Structure 1
């Protein structure tokens, strides 16, 4: 997953100098990558805690006699809380401090995951998963805003795709390790292991990443209250909250990004059960097989983000077109694939469709970042996360769970890619409205500091 990232130029333009780098310059060039690595690792922990549930679906279904819709609610409650709380928590993080906010979030979701391990019935598990959702609500938006603040815009699509792919990689580890641990030690230990891993990572993050060090390496013109940025100020220090929803191209990115996550979320949640029921695999082997699909989803996010940055190097509007292309490929492959009989051809098409399933995530995140004021970047990413969760991560698994109770899981999975049609429409509208979006941002940046509240 790291191959495309190795070709990204350093975040600091000091790399272009012909003079030997001083120790201080070397530290400034390396620190952004350290921030990325630790923030990315916590994102992996985030999704390990979230998706380990999918690996233990068969155990919970048997032990508590749960319907598919009840199992789906345990997944969707997390995404629902993320959708509801992301924006307000992102606004708080933009002002209180992104690093401080990330630490609090990671501690909360890790403790909540530990509560999942001791749940004795469906209601207690639902309450614990509710708390997991509260803790994870704004991590993705605040985390990517923190990362993008220390890297130049020319690599934002690649970094956005790579960072958001951490959700898929975390899901792979959560599903695969969760299934193995559940088979050998019991499903409760699956949750406990994820919780301990998260607490260890957040302690390491707290020691190394600080608000002041991030501000010293920031390429933005804003910093948390009480922290002085080394970047030169320009335009308004704080943009109004209303600017998050007045740029038409950004609204299209929100809608397109959220809708393209619908089917990707379905693959993350239901492929373990698909392989268990239709290929007769035991829960641990079904989890490993599903982890392969999820790994392709994550790898596709990285590669598609890298491709998008190359395609949009001359004309940034082409990033919209690449996002549309990824949706079309996944729509065709998954619709045909789930309609075939079990076998190699079906698995091949599902794998190909899975690779492009969330490929538009990097392009849409880059569009949001490039068309919003730097002071509102975490909040803008929070708005995108709201769309991703309400339209995709929460809605997708739940809708498929309900459909599965009525028409069967395979038919429900075959119907889910049709949502890409709506995503394509939204992304095409964003392409047409992009010039207007650029003018809106330029007008906002030109306003004097005293004119913004």
Structure 2
């Protein structure tokens, strides 16, 4: 008989698993996984990497778009903002779908969706068409994370869930690196006004990957049992339950946690390179070497954050990485530095700002009951993405009355302070079984 623990007005935190220690090291857990678990892990990790690859193409082609179509920086920036906002809505919708039609099927839909509309971006003939195509692509971009995070979180055993989900999240850095590599290759072989179209066209490559997922990955057993119970009882779960009694306070606090994490990430990664290049006149910013160091730091941060979340707990990991990210922002904006120091500091910048996210998927999986797990994760993470996406705009607005460096520091401090406060109020879930 399976049960879920519920606590009135707080998180429906399950009972802890029997006292089995986490597998040793970062990769020790993998040796104890079944074939089905490994297939799910690699499907989610590769899917997230391909998601990142398609998403990051825009940041590389913006200069070519400005030159080809005469866009203003504001128009170019709006494309990115629209993508983030539609991805937030797409992530919530994908969460609801994953509760209704299954985690695996939703993952397939989102991958095909973002691949198709990335291809459509390559065929656009004007700014408006690109804005619409990119906005539609955002629905799949946001949805893929939700479906993949729920899928891998439900399949992996509790004591190793943080490491496994965090390593899936690390796929983002891999996709980012692949995107940078393809950009370098394509733009070195073709003129810019053709290269940007070819780069977007390559975004269709993830689509065939869906065939492998369909053949190799099964729906998590825990979700199948939930659907069978609902069918036997003639009940249908509503996504509105995440705002209902006993769950709403968890939803609120997790949404605040996600808002702080993503607001801080966007504040730092969006504006710091611009500030360092325009106000500090550091030529290394924007070069391949600096980007490579940040990506390497990002991947290492994901891995270490994943290990830490299982070894020291979700909440402590959030707090440590948030405080470190805040300090990095202050160092960048307050301490004089040259190009060599900047290059070195690119590693901890990527490490802490990205590593904070490593334990988030596992944490959200453990906080919501199975029947509304997708809806809860989809809403909270993407609510944070939608609100966090406004931080770059607000920093630019505030920078009209204070220095850009000061504005970055203020918003980063607020954002990561919010993460710390939310983490303190939420229960620790390390090692919790989803159902016992």
Give the TM interval when normalised to the shorter protein.
0.7 to 0.9
Instruction: Give secondary structure in 2 for the equivalent of 1:136.
Output: helix
TM-score by length of structure 2 reads: 0.79
Aligned residue number for residue 23 of structure 1: none
2:364 paired residue among 355, 368, 371: 368
1:99 match = 104
1:7 lines up with 2:39 in the alignment? no
Residues 65 and 224 of structure 1: is their aligned pair in 2 closer, same or farther, counting only changes over 3 Å?
Answer: farther
Distance 1:114 1:320, change over 3 A: same
- Residue 200 of structure 2 aligns to a residue whose secondary structure is helix
Contact 2:226–2:370 (Cα < 8 Å) also in 1:
no
Distance change >3 Å, CA 422–CA 337, structure 1 → 2: closer
Question: 1:184 Cα shift?
Answer: 2.1
CA distance in 2 between counterparts of 1:173 and 1:403 reads 35
Residues 1:242 and 2:241 are matched in the alignment: yes
Matched, 1:126 2:121: no
Aligned to 1:416: 408
Give the drift of 1:35: 0.9
**1:55-102 per-position Cα deviation (integer Å, ceiling 9, x unaligned):** 112212222222322222111211100112322331122111221222
Q: How many angstroms does 1:112 deviate by?
A: 0.8
Quote how far apart the aligned CAs of 1:239 are: 7.9
* Consecutive unaligned residues in structure 1, runs of 5 or more: 13-28, 313-318, 447-453
Measure how far apart 1:357 and its partner are: 0.6
3-state DSSP class of the match of 1:137? Answer: helix
Could you say what the CA RMSD is over the residues aligned between the two structures, in angstroms?
3.6
CA distance 1:115–1:224, shift in 2 (3 Å): farther
How far residue 207 of structure 1 moved from its aligned partner, in angstroms, is: 2.8
The total of aligned residue pairs comes to: 400
**Aligned pair partner of 2:158 in 153, 159, 173:** 153
Secondary structure of the corresponding residue to residue 120 of structure 1: coil
Instruction: List aligned pairs for 1:2-81, cutoff 5 A.
Output: 5-8=26-29, 29-81=34-86
Which residue of structure 2 aligns with residue 260 of structure 1?
Answer: 261
Within the alignment, does 1:208 sit opposite 2:213 as a pair? no
Unaligned runs of 5+ in 2: 1-23
**Cα–Cα, structure 1 residues 244 and 150, in superposed 2: closer, same or farther, change >3 Å?**
farther
Corresponding residue to 2:378 among 379, 382, 388: 382
Q: 2:15 aligns to what? A: none
| Cα distance in 2, alignment partners of residues 424 and 378 from structure 1 | 25
Q: Deviations over 1:24-63 (max 9, x none)?
A: xxxxx12211111012111111111111111112212222
Aligned with 2:199 (options 186, 190, 193): 190
| Structure 2 counterpart of 1:82, from 84, 87, 108 | 87
Q: 1:293 to 1:431 in 2, by over 3 A?
A: closer
TM-score under structure 1 length normalisation: 0.76
304, 324, 328: which is aligned to 2:323?
328
Q: Which moved more, 1:352-361 or 1:126-135?
A: 352-361
